[in-house]
Amino acid sequence: MAKKDHISETPATQFLRKQGVAFTEHPYAYEEHGGTAVSARELGVDEHAVVKTLVMQDDAAKPLIVLMHGDRKVSTKNLARQIGCKAVEPCKPEVAQRHSGYMVGGTSPFATKKALPVYVEQGILALEKIYINGGRRGYLIGIAPAVLTALVAAQPVQCALEE
């Protein structure tokens, strides 16, 4: 009998199962600093449908999560303007880890250590299916984007820069 790769639960997958959310599991060979280009290639999906979970902070050092298409960058200026603060910047990896409870490269917007406001690039919500981190490096889950607004109250923003 062939051994099936078992993926152990993460706080994110436990949270989704508890909420009754259907998702597909997509483990892949993680590459340090490979980003969404690597995961999209490994999964054979469009990088535009792979969503980055970015932990940032506002000018008062309050943490927040930004969900962005894998093939786009965040315009922190546009984001700050839309969420009503002076500036937004990425958190340092150790700070991001402290806020989210996840290792950088394995950050999921679900079941973060602290409840963080979540902002989602508007275009992501128009996709049929997205691939987002499941709470571990080298592990994406496929879900309907509506889950983001339903479960983590993700607020739509327009802050994408073309790569």
> What pairs with residue 140 in β-bridges?
26, 133
Percent of the chain with pLDDT over 90: 92
Q: Supply the pTM of this predicted model.
A: 0.94
In the prediction, which pLDDT does 162 show?
Answer: 63
How much is the pLDDT for 1? 38
CA dist 14 → 9, 67, 92, 97 (Å): 6, 20, 27, 19
Phi and psi dihedrals of 12, rounded to 5? -65, -50
Question: For 9-41, how does the pLDDT look when each residue is reduced to its tens digit (9 = 90+)?
Answer: 999 999 999 999 999 999 999 999 899 999 999
**Residue whose structure tokens are 């060979």:** 29
Domains defined for the chain, CATH in brackets: 22-162 (3.90.960.10)
Residues 6+ apart with CB under 8 A from 8: none
**pLDDT (tens digit, 9 = 90+) per residue, 70-98?**
999 999 999 999 999 999 999 999 999 99
